[in-house]
Structure 1
Amino acid sequence: MEQEKLRLRFTAQGFTPDETVNEYGDEVQSWKTRMTTAPWQTLYALSFQPRAPWLDAAGLFLYQVADAFQRQLTRQPDLELRREKITVEPDAETLRALSDSVPFVNGAQFVDAGWLCHAFAQLNERFAQEVAAFDGSVAMYLAGKSQQLRVPERIFFHLVESQDDAEYPFAFLATYATRTAAGKVRHMPLKYALSEYKGRRDKLLELLSCLNRVAEVAPLIAEFMEKGELFHPLRLRAEEAYQILKCVPAIEAAGIVCRIPNWWRRHAHGVSAAVVIGEEKTALLGLDTVLSMVPRLEVDGIPLSAQEIQDLLAQSEGLVLLKGRWVEVDHARLQQLLDAMDEQAGEVTMMEALRMELNGKKDANDPDLGVVIKNGTWLNELLARLRTPKQLRSVMVPRSLHATLRPYQKEGYTWLNQMNALHFGACLADDMGLGKTIQVLAFLERLRKRSAQARVLLIVPASLLGNWQGECERFVPDMPYMRLHGGGAKELGEFVAGDHTFLTITTYGMASRIAQLAQIEWDCLILDEAQAIKNPLSKQTKQIKKLHARMRIAMTGTPIENDLGNLWSLFDFLNKGLLGSFGEFREFCRDLGAHPEGYGRLKAMIAPFMLRRTKDDKRIIRDLPDKIETVDKVSLSARQAVLYRQCVNDLAKRLDELDGMQRRGLVLALLTKLKQICNHPDQFLGQEEYAPQESGKFAMLGELCETIYEKRERVLVFTQFKEITPYLDEYLAQRFHCRGFVLHGGTPVAERAKMVEAFQSERYVPYMVLSVRAGGTGLNLTNASHVIHFDRWWNPAVENQATDRAYRIGQKRNVMVHKLVCQGTVEEKIDQLIESKKELAANVIGSGGESWITEMSNEELLSLLKLEVDR
């Protein structure tokens, strides 16, 4: 059985455990508790243990961060002297490697260089705290933590280039760390140790003892010791420096840290083989475009000419200065590379080139030689422009567009046009509220102007039909469109087959049923809320992917979720084959645990095809006020408390009698009942009086709305229960002294559009009561400056989407978000889950919402449901 994983997510300042559907064993539960209360202290402790099999992708990355910290820590020769005062910071190479290894998990957007530096600082602080309290040496402290760690010796070896001396182009110096009279740690040439420890032979021998180990693995160092030269600065010939550089791994294994030229650390000193793809410009039309593939030899990315290669073959083995760079000459390897080059010339398609990039840029046919596959100048520049649309040449916005695009929206519009010109599928993944619709309409208007015979199919959720219709009439009134909805699939199919309207708008349900849609060659196929095709095995997804189009656009605010299979399905629609078959991609994902640098390659590969901007980025969107979220806890009325306890007691009596689906059904039914009781006892009892004083939530709602009414502001009230909406409407009409709107699943699409238009107008419409399912996505209701979640939907993504009806572009005020929770009930206990999930992508908890609760043991379940307040 597969090991269950402790799921973690990243936050702005660290990480925290995710609530999951799994029950944990004692050990994992213990670590989960510790990570919740003291995450960095727990990570620090965990990092000294063998890598735990229950770590998820986020946990493995955190382990990698801690491992990098330990490596940096144990490379400090003054560690023993500085102890708790040591400061360990990630170097540039460490930051790059870790950034390339960030997994596709919730909160990954927070993990940047600043986050990583903060992580090092947190681990550094934990080390300092423990070492300060430890009565012994740092070496003893680390030995007690892990036998794999050792404190480096206090001696450094420095090898640097000396450009002013052609005969002796390198200099060597041995130093040691010592503490001055003022208590500061300094690095001094090794010769000063002879005077510092004069008369204290034992201390001197203790300092120098490591040199005997080094002498056994580095013959030249042994020679320096025999001649007494190690205590003085030395000039070295290239061949002498080469001898030392070759021994660096063994020297450092013996405990001495070496400061050497970066080009040797980076392995940039050897001749390597590269196959350059797309060096010259080509007429690029789609992923099947053929690109040139030209082999070459190079040093640190700099190509070598045929004459330079012959010159290297004529040199003796060792270090040779070439083009201002030191090159390691190895005749046998150089000849192998030359032989391999003869077999590398040819052509590849654009898709094959990108697949090579995903697989690590190494030629699978010659893994030992390490032939690198790299993009040429033209291909690199193209991909860079697509990844950063600001670099693209601006495209004129049609005058017939009745809107002014913001700068970032113009970039998105230009990007869509460029992707269309290249015949690439594009994912517009801006945050909800940043104006994906207007960017797409601008793109379609230009397409219509340039190709009057073009045909576009737009597929949207049913709830957004009216919204798209309204946006078309508002922003592109000259654009012909038709709506395929509200009739039989056969009749609609016959109609669309003989029609040539520019834009056809339909729903996912109808698109899956109208067979004629797959018989048309669309110029552009657009999916709004494209997460609808995230499941590659669903019938709906399979039917949508059968549609034919030259250009495909996916619109979604949450393209990357926990399951990378969702990402594969999205790209299988946009650019089929780019991520390989589902089986191939799944194999790639399985390998990410052992080779996390693959995450970086995957991000780089999909970046040209995905444009994502977030409304939290103040550099992109400065006119969107912050939203302020509060959890308003209310007390149950006496009547509510009695009914609540009664339902829980009834469940307790029946739990032991049922199992399997019957138990699951019983638990889910009870959860619905408890939510109804928390709203109002009459909702649970099916009565119609709804006296406000019988419900804590109604009382709180009245208090909040009284203030809102005094300021003549507007509010959205969300509930997941259609049956309570008329009673909320009646109550709010009394509080506001006028009536607002009610929108739920039974509201006709045309009526919804009229409601939105009225709510957004100058006329004062104080409130709108919405069911979460019907009003949670796609509607623009920025006239509201308050959002009240009357009851909680136990999926943070769904709640956030509902809140975003008001918190989006066009909002000129702060948005106050109130979440009503009954104290001591299951609502309050679940609240921590919702808060911990609020930054996650949609559907992380799953469409089942509270189904995870049914997997609890009887004892855990009753503990969760039990009313914890005295009444």
Structure 2
Amino acid sequence: MLVVHGAWTGGALALWAEDTSPPESTSPRGGPSPRGGGRAHPFAAPASVLAAALGEAAARAVPAELTLRLPGSAKGPLPSPESGLPSAARAPRLAAWRVPALLAGPAEALALLGALTEPPPPAPGAPEWGPGTSLRYLAVVAEHARALVRRGRVLPQLVIEDGAHAARWRPVLTGADATAFRELATAMPPACRAAGQGSPSARVLRESLAALADGAVRLALPDRLLRGVRPGPKSPLPERWLSALTSGDAALPGAGEPEAAELGGALREWLAAAHRMDGPIRVCFRLIEPEGDADAWELEFALQSVEDPSLYVPASRLWDGERVPGLPRRSDEILLAGLGRAVRLCPELHTALYDARPSGMTVDTAWAFGFLRRAAPLLQAAGYGVSLPAWAGRKGIGLRLTTRSRAATPSRAVAGQGFGLGELVDFRVDLAVGDHTISEEELEELARLKVPLVRVRGQWVELDDRQLKAALTAIERRRAGEMTVAEVIAEVVGGGDEELPLVAVDADGPLGDLLSGEADRRLAAVATPAAFNGVLRPYQERGLSWLSFLSRVGLGGILADDMGLGKTAQTLSLLLDERTDGPVPPTLLVCPMSLVGNWQKEAARFAPSLRVYVHHGGTRKRDEELAAAVRDADLVVTTYGTALRDVGTLMGFAWGRVVCDEAQAIKNSAARQAQAVRSIPARTRLALTGTPVENHLAELWSIMEFCNPGLLGPAKRFRTRYQEPIEARGDEDAARALRRATGPFVLRRLKTDKTIISDLPEKQEMKVWCTLTPEQASLYQAVVTDMMARIDGSEGIERRGNVLAAMTRLKQVCNHPAHLLKDGSRLSGRSGKLARLEELAQEIVEEGDRALVFTQYAEFGSLLQPYLAAHLDRPVLWLHGGLPKKKRDELVERFQEGDEPMIFLLSLKAAGTGLNLTAANHVIHVDRWWNPAVEDQATDRAFRIGQTKNVQVRKFICAGTLEERIDEMIERKKALAESVVGAGEDWITGLSTERLRELFRLGPEAVS
């Protein structure tokens, strides 16, 4: 298989590929370095092979050879994480490597990147391929460029390329677009910059975004902007420039300097004026609907903070002379200047400027509609704040679907008799305006009036001709009839069409229970199976009823219960319940390697009658032995890695169900293990995860595509229908439609919900502030001085590596000088954190309690374990990734079953998920991973079902250091914490040098 990577260079998309096919490609064969060039990349596929794999998508790409700066060692380059190839490089360095490549211009790049969400099947004989992280990132950039063009966020310019003038389009990045640009630059994978000699990510992003936006405009405007005679080479430059803005050739040869200077200067001033809107305070317009039957709308003027939109100050307060904290002096001048610029986008505002102190306007319905439809989008795109009524922008007319079951009796239907995807139900489609159903006659009357903004039964709604025509056509074509249950589900998931969204569903019987999104509460609860060794809680029995119902009708689902609510127990009870009437095909369960033992033990504990076979390790069964083992098993447990390696074999068995535990492992639909698991056939699928969406909605699509293939449609449609409106614009209608589409197949309960579980104790979180010793402070400052000098003198991948190295060293200093120096020196009395940990650990064991102590550094844990054991004179267990499975299980069992107080040291990566450690009622995070989701997962090793005590969670932070400042950054963006810091610490590497200097700065409060 080929892993295809992408970079941006010289105005073109550069594609190259790693060949992951064994065995030849797994041994470096680069050879000596030619003079001035770099060695041949040992895993790179020839350009001809890459072109064959991409097929039509790369038909117009040009073969080339690039020299890339990639991490590696003297022996060879470091394989990419997506390749799955082994690497022995311990301390990689950037080096030049020659790779065969394909170069695609902007138009071709847009087509190729747009096809990544639905890559066509490879041609016969062509190698299989998948996009690497860099290529998927550039696909996001391409879609962002298209969005800018769709919203008119581009301006024409006259630029110089290769010493000649050219007509180009350039994006306008202000307001939300400027924020999106900064976030994209921060998230750029290093490989995207490998062809640019390590250029800063912002520069590479600006170049690629400009080229892709220019290409998108030319694709959208294939004809000339002005009709008439095509200008010749001697025509005035403005005419030639205007024609070149849409032609295939943007060059303007022979342009005279005086003419070019005059035209280029005016265009640059136009672009600069558009960017002046990007300040900390912006003018905001708020449209307020009238009360009762009045026709007086209010348009309020205000100032609003860009960083904190809750800081909203109406203009009337400014004219009263009130000094508002957070606003700069002379805010009235900012307001007047902003209103003056806004008149160019909404000329009707000019009447308000007759007033020396404008605070708003009173307008009629026709004016309000014009503002809603035309001015508001333009003002928003230009960076102004716009606040509209909650109904604004929603489709005025929608569809209401009503279905009625034909089942003989409700009891038989609930029992699963007579209910299936093929059962016929009666349906009726009605039209809804706002919250009300209207008749065809009322709709025809609205169409006759041709009033675009009307009040229907007390609610304002927007109507347009296209919606009205589509509604009349839909109601004539399909008003009532019969459909199968499967067709009803497809209608609900499809959500109608663009002009007529499905806004409400009313169904009875089991179908209504399923579509309600509360199926676990409405379906009759299935009792705990007799073979289950224990008693399910009421909410778990409801979960079992939902799982059983989906399984009977052949649908998949996502059990997304909060960590600790018993997803394992519910799954095992499902396997037992379906075997009460006789044998059924086995279930294949795929999980991380660290959870294999957990599933074995939980099955033996709760479902001892289940026959369990573990398919993992070098001694696992193969061929006939494996077939016999699967035939004799009820549950086959394997790992994601083994499933990927043995996918061909596993595809040959008749599985009743495939279950993915910790299903966030398949959140990347293009990853090989996600593709492998999806390819294993089964009657139904089940995903278990406490975090169905960690960073992006595309992850939900990937997991749903595993559970119910094709149900949510292609990834591209999901992105345009749901992901972009929700993530980019906060579209509430799209969010409601997505909840309606996925709600029947996702069961999510939180343990903090007292209606779910009332006997779980409280979780008390607190921050423990530590100070540095003078030795630590001296080392900290020395590291800052040394590393900032290195960061200042580096670029690209090397700079990113230096930033990560600086953070690591500073965190090590905050832990303990011996952690940084690695000199085996004494620990006592040299670290503020260690002193606080000693005190807390002593208190915990003296009270007879037990604690989990997490560190992200295995080497620091190895230092702490013997020291704390000697200091406390108590057992201190130490679990890290280097332990074999048997030893890990022994440690967990000793901690859970022992009867003496003790401390359990754990590596965050090795023990952050899957373990049940409810014997602990204290959790200490000695050093932070700066990812709230990861920390919460680790904490939930103790805060889960089975816990009988309050759990105290302490997070150590060194005051006055980068630890405190990053904690502040996380707190400020708590609502977006997972998307901002979802990749651990990589997001910090894109900060400017000045921001890094402030982040790393040692404050005077740091030293005790």
Pairwise CA distance, 1:789: 0.7
Aligned mates of 2:322, 2:777 — CA distance in 1: 54
Indicate which of 541, 544, 548 corresponds to 2:677: 544
Pairwise CA distance, 1:626: 2.1
Letter in 1 for 2:693: I
| Equivalence map 1:186-197=2 (5 Å) | none
1:71 maps to 2:288? yes
| Equivalence map 1:717-728=2 (5 Å) | 717-728=853-864
1:428 maps to 2:559? yes
Pairwise CA distance, 1:691: 1.9
Letter in 1 for 2:753: D
3-state DSSP of counterpart to 1:705: helix
Pairwise CA distance, 1:649: 1.7
Pairwise CA distance, 1:534: 0.4
3-state DSSP of counterpart to 1:506: strand
| Equivalence map 1:421-460=2 (5 Å) | 421-460=552-591
Letter in 1 for 2:985: E
Aligned mates of 1:8, 1:74 — CA distance in 2: 37
Aligned mates of 1:568, 1:640 — CA distance in 2: 47
370-379 or 479-488: bigger deviation? 370-379
3-state DSSP of counterpart to 2:914: coil
Indicate which of 798, 809, 815 corresponds to 1:662: 798
Contact 2:763 2:953 in 1 (8 A): yes
Indicate which of 647, 650, 659 corresponds to 1:526: 659
Task: Give the corresponding residue for 2:990.
Answer: 855
Change (3 A) 1:618 1:793: same
**Unmatched runs of 5 consecutive residues or more in structure 1:** 10-16, 26-49, 56-62, 84-118, 136-140, 152-209, 215-248, 255-264, 318-324, 327-332
Change (3 A) 1:653 1:792: same
Letter in 2 for 1:459: V
Contact 1:6 1:54 in 2 (8 A): no
Pairwise CA distance, 1:579: 1.0
Change (3 A) 1:335 1:429: closer
Aligned mates of 1:672, 1:535 — CA distance in 2: 28
Aligned mates of 2:404, 2:472 — CA distance in 1: 21
Contact 2:399 2:496 in 1 (8 A): no
Higher relative contact order (CA 8 A, sep 6+): 1
Pairwise CA distance, 1:737: 1.7
| Equivalence map 1:595-744=2 (5 Å) | 596-744=732-880
Pairwise CA distance, 1:670: 2.5
Letter in 1 for 2:617: G
Change (3 A) 1:840 1:437: farther
Task: Give the corresponding residue for 1:481.
Answer: 612
Aligned mates of 1:607, 1:338 — CA distance in 2: 29
Deviations 1:696-715 (A, max 9, x none): 11111011112112211111
Identity of matched residues, %: 37
Change (3 A) 1:572 1:862: same
1:563 maps to 2:563? no
Change (3 A) 1:707 1:354: same
Contact 1:277 1:373 in 2 (8 A): no
Aligned mates of 2:504, 2:944 — CA distance in 1: 43
Pairwise CA distance, 1:740: 2.9
Deviations 1:816-847 (A, max 9, x none): 11111222222222122344566668675233
Pairwise CA distance, 1:131: 8.8
Aligned mates of 2:760, 2:909 — CA distance in 1: 25
**Unmatched runs of 5 consecutive residues or more in structure 2:** 1-140, 145-172, 189-199, 203-273, 301-307, 324-333, 350-361, 371-390, 408-412, 450-456, 459-467
Deviations 1:429-479 (A, max 9, x none): 011111111111111111233332420111111111111111111111221
Contact 2:851 2:922 in 1 (8 A): yes
Indicate which of 503, 510, 516 corresponds to 2:642: 510
Letter in 2 for 1:766: M
Letter in 1 for 2:666: I
Contact 1:357 1:373 in 2 (8 A): no
Change (3 A) 1:658 1:498: same
Letter in 2 for 1:425: G
3-state DSSP of counterpart to 1:478: coil
Deviations 1:294-337 (A, max 9, x none): 66799998898xxx99xx99xx99xxxxxxx99xxxxxx99995
Change (3 A) 1:723 1:562: closer
691-700 or 624-633: bigger deviation? 624-633
Deviations 1:786-830 (A, max 9, x none): 111111112111111111111112222221111112222222221
| Equivalence map 1:143-542=2 (5 Å) | 280-281=406-407, 341=476, 350=485, 353-358=488-493, 360-361=495-496, 376-378=507-509, 381-384=512-515, 387-487=518-618, 491-492=621-622, 495-499=625-629, 500=631, 501-514=633-646, 515-542=648-675
Contact 2:485 2:511 in 1 (8 A): no
Pairwise CA distance, 1:726: 2.7
Letter in 2 for 1:426: G
Change (3 A) 1:4 1:757: farther
**TM-score of the two chains, using structure 1 as the length reference:** 0.66
Aligned mates of 1:497, 1:534 — CA distance in 2: 30
Contact 1:677 1:683 in 2 (8 A): yes
Q: How many corresponding residue pairs? A: 671
3-state DSSP of counterpart to 2:953: strand
Aligned mates of 1:382, 1:52 — CA distance in 2: 54
Pairwise CA distance, 1:523: 0.5
| Equivalence map 1:773-792=2 (5 Å) | 773-792=909-928
Contact 2:290 2:297 in 1 (8 A): no
Report the structure number with the largest CA radius of gyration.
Answer: 1
Letter in 2 for 1:517: L
Contact 1:465 1:749 in 2 (8 A): no
Task: Give the corresponding residue for 2:208.
Answer: none
653-662 or 695-704: bigger deviation? 653-662
Letter in 2 for 1:535: N
Change (3 A) 1:6 1:754: farther
Change (3 A) 1:756 1:580: same
**TM-score of the two chains, using structure 2 as the length reference:** 0.58
Change (3 A) 1:590 1:830: closer
Deviations 1:317-360 (A, max 9, x none): 9xxxxxxx99xxxxxx9999599636667766655544543554
Aligned mates of 2:556, 2:482 — CA distance in 1: 23
Contact 1:719 1:771 in 2 (8 A): yes
Change (3 A) 1:557 1:844: farther
Aligned mates of 2:817, 2:763 — CA distance in 1: 32
Deviations 1:680-700 (A, max 9, x none): 111222222442211111111
Aligned mates of 2:619, 2:756 — CA distance in 1: 44
Deviations 1:2-42 (A, max 9, x none): 45886999xxxxxxx999759999xxxxxxxxxxxxxxxxx
Contact 1:795 1:843 in 2 (8 A): no
Deviations 1:194-226 (A, max 9, x none): xxxxxxxxxxxxxxxx9xx99xxxxxxxxxxxx
Task: Give the corresponding residue for 1:590.
Answer: 724
Letter in 2 for 1:511: A
3-state DSSP of counterpart to 1:483: strand
Change (3 A) 1:74 1:362: same
| Equivalence map 1:740-779=2 (5 Å) | 740-779=876-915
Contact 1:494 1:516 in 2 (8 A): no
Aligned mates of 1:684, 1:503 — CA distance in 2: 47
Aligned mates of 1:375, 1:629 — CA distance in 2: 43
3-state DSSP of counterpart to 2:531: coil
Letter in 1 for 2:627: A
Change (3 A) 1:456 1:273: closer
Aligned mates of 2:312, 2:291 — CA distance in 1: 12
Pairwise CA distance, 1:734: 2.7
Change (3 A) 1:445 1:336: closer
Letter in 1 for 2:936: N
Pairwise CA distance, 1:387: 2.6
Pairwise CA distance, 1:631: 1.6
Deviations 1:569-596 (A, max 9, x none): 0110011111101112122133556764
